[in-house]
Amino acid sequence: MTHDLGEHHQQILRLMRVVPTKSAGSRPTYAALSRTARWCCSQMTRRYKNERHGTRNPWYLFLFLLLAHASLFMILTSWTRAEARAKDMRIRGHVCDPQAYGAKANGRTQDTRALQAAIDACATQGGGIVRLSSGRFLTGPIVLRNHIRLEIERGATLLGSQRVSDYPVLPNENRRQSLITSNGATEVAIVGAGTINGQGQPWWVVARAEDRAGRPEEPRPWLIEFYKTQHILVEGVALQDSPMYTLVLRSSRDATVRNITILNPPHAPNTDGIDPISSRYVHISHVLIDTGDDDISIKSGLPERGVSNAACSDITIRDSTFLHGHGLSIGSETAGGVRNILAENIRFRGTKDGIRIKSNRGRSNVIENIVYRNITMTNVETAISISEYYPDWEISANDDAQKIEPHTPHFHDLSITHLTAKGSDQAGILIGLPESPITGVTLKDVEIHARIGLTIRSASVHADGLSVVTEQGPPILEQHGAQLSGH
C-alpha cells in the first residue's frame, strides 16, 4: 500500500505541473491552488507513512485522495477555463474609425499613419475598437497596443504594402518588421469576417531566386506577430498571401485562434500557417489552412541565436482541416523543448506530411507528452514522420552514437490514436538517434494504406490495432534499435 500511495502521489504531482496560472489579480490563482495542493499532498503522504506513532491514520489517505481528485478536476478543466476567458474578452470603449484619421481605404493611398493614429487614440483612452468597416486599407507595419480590438468587417481588406522600404530590418534578426505586431501588450484581438492580405508575391519571387542561386535569403516580414503578449484572440478573419510566416505567437500566453482561414499558394516559400514559438496555453480550433510550408509548426527557438529559449507547452489543436502544406509539425527549432500538446479531430487533404516531429543534434531538447487522436488523411505523402535526423533521415542508417549534449533531441511519450490514412506514398518513419532513441511511442487503432511501409529505427513502439497495407515491400521495416511490441 505504501508503494502504491507513493506512486500515485508522484503521478498527481507530475500532473499538477501543467495547471495554468490565471492572470494577475484573479482569486484564487491556479498556481496558488496547485502549490497548496502539492504541499498538502506531500504533508498528508508524509504523515500517513509516519510509523513513529505505530499506526497509520486512514483519514490522511481519505483527504489525500479527495484533494488528488480535486486537483485532477482543475487540470481537466484548465483548457476550457482558458477558452472561456477568450470568449469573455470583450474589449469595450471608444470606437476609432481610421477614416476619421485620414484613411482613404482605396487600396492605392498609404493608410499606415491613419491606422496607427486610430490605434493610438484608442490606446490612450484605455483601449477600444479600431473598426475597418469597408474598403481596402493599404498599409505598412502597424503596432497594436494594450486592450485593442482590430475589427475587420466583411467587405474590408487590410493590404500589406509591397514596398520593401516600408518594412525595417529588425536588429539581430534576419527578417523585417511584421505587417501587424503586438509587443508586450495584453488583451489584444484581431476579429471579423474581413481579410488581411500580405500581397507577398514579390517577396516569394526574390526568395525563390536566391534559393536557386545559393545566396543568403533577403529578409522578409511576417504577416502577424504577437510577441510577449497575453490574452490574445484571433477569430473569423481570412489571412492570405503572407510574405513569410503567417501568424506567429512568440513568447506569448493565453491565445485563442479559431474560425480563421489561411490561404497561401502551395509554391510560396516558408509561408507557415500558425507558429506558436516558446508560448503557453494556445488553443487553435476550426481553422482551414492551405499553404506552402508547415500548416502549423510548434517551435521553441535555436540555441545559436544567443537568447533564452523557453519551452512551448500546453497547446491544443482541434477540429481543423489542412490542405496543401507540410502538415502539423513540431520543430525543427526546439532548443527550449516542447511538451503537453493535444491535436484531435484533424483532417489532412493532400499535404506533404501529416504528423511531423523533426529536429536534429544541436538544435533540440525534450519533446514529451504529445497526443494525436481522431486523425484522417487523404493523399498525404508521408502519414507519420518523426525523426531526430531532420532533414536527412536517410543518412542515419550507419550513424554511430555521439556524446549527449544539452541540445540533443529526446522524444518520448508520443501517442497516436484513431488514425486513418489512405493514398499515402509512405506510411512513415520513426527514427531516433542511437545515443537518444525515441521512447514511449503508442500507435493505437492506426490504419495506413501506402505505397511503402513504416520504418522504425532507434525507437521503441507499442502497437495496439496497427494496420499498414503496402503496395510494395514490407508493411513495417524494423532496423537497428527498433523495439516493436503488441500488434
Whether residue 103 is found in the same domain as residue 207: yes
Residue 461, SS3 per DSSP: strand
Helix (H) or strand (E) run with residue 203 in it: helix 201-213
Q: 479-487: long-range contacts at Cβ-Cβ below 8 A with a sequence spacing of 24 or more?
A: 479/397, 479/455, 480/434, 481/432, 481/434, 481/437, 481/457, 482/456, 482/457, 482/458, 483/459, 484/456, 484/460, 485/460, 485/461, 486/462, 487/463
Half-sphere exposure of 81 (CA within 13 A, CB side): 14
Percent of the chain with pLDDT over 70: 79
Q: Are residues 310 and 224 in the same domain?
A: no
What number is the average pLDDT over the span 462-480? 97
Whether residue 263 is contained in a domain is answered as no
Residue 207 domain flag: yes
Same domain, 178 and 317: no
Asked if residue 458 and residue 324 are part of one domain, the reply reads: yes
**Predicted local confidence at residue 81, as pLDDT:** 47
Mean pLDDT for 422-441 is: 97
Residue 114 or 400, more confident: 114
Sequence-ordered list of residues with C-beta below 8 angstroms from that of 92, at least 6 positions apart, any chain: 127, 128
Residue 468 lies in a domain: yes
In a domain, 387, yes or no: yes
Q: Can you tell me the distance from the alpha carbon of 129 to that of 361, in angstroms, rounded to the nearest whole number?
A: 46
156-160 and 459-470: which strand pairing? unpaired
Query: Do residue 337 and residue 206 come from a single domain?
Result: no
pLDDT in tens, 303-350: 876 555 799 999 999 999 999 999 999 999 999 999 999 999 999 999
Q: Is residue 326 part of a domain?
A: yes
User: Which pLDDT value is given to residue 63?
Assistant: 53
> Do residues 174 and 323 share a domain?
no
Number of independent structural domains in the chain: 2
What span, in angstroms and rounded, lies between the C-alpha atoms of 237 and 137? 15
Q: Cβ atoms within 10 A of the Cβ of 68, count?
A: 21
Mean pLDDT, the chain, rounded, equals 86
Last residue of a domain, one of 239, 258, 283: 239
Domain housing 188: 82-239
Please classify residue 442 by burial: count the beta carbons closer than 10 Å to its beta carbon, then call 0-12 exposed, 13-18 middle and 19+ buried.
middle
User: Which of the listed residues 239, 254, 272 is the one where a domain comes to its end?
Assistant: 239
Clarify whether residues 220 and 317 are in a common domain: no
User: In terms of domains, do 109 and 215 share one?
Assistant: yes
User: Do 116 and 215 lie in a common domain?
Assistant: yes
Task: Mark whether 197 and 306 lie in a shared domain.
Answer: no
Assess if residue 22 is contained within a domain.
Answer: no
Q: Cα-flanking dihedrals φ and ψ of residue 231, to 5°?
A: 60, 80
CA torsion, ordered 156, 162, 167, 172, to nearest 10 deg: 120
- Residue 321 shares a structural domain with residue 437: yes
Q: Which residue has the higher pLDDT, 61 or 180?
A: 180
Spatial neighbors of 130 by CB under 8 A, at least 6 apart, are 96, 98, 115, 118, 119, 122, 148, 149, 150, 151
Query: What predicted TM-score, i.e. pTM, was given to this entire model?
Result: 0.84
Query: What per-residue confidence (pLDDT) applies to 19?
Result: 33
Q: What DSSP letter does each residue of 265-286 carry, written as one string?
A: -TTSTT--SEEEES-EEEEEES
- Looking at the fold, whether 171 and 309 belong to one and the same domain comes out as no
Q: Which residues are registered as beta bridge partners of 359?
A: none
* Band of residue 391 on the pLDDT scale cut at 50, 70, 90: confident
Residue with cell 542508417: 397
Whichever domain contains 335, its CATH number is 2.160.20.10
| CA 318 centroid distance within chain | 12
Is residue 276 assigned to a domain?
no
Q: What is the pLDDT of residue 27?
A: 36
Q: Is residue 466 part of a domain?
A: yes
Strand partners, 297: 329
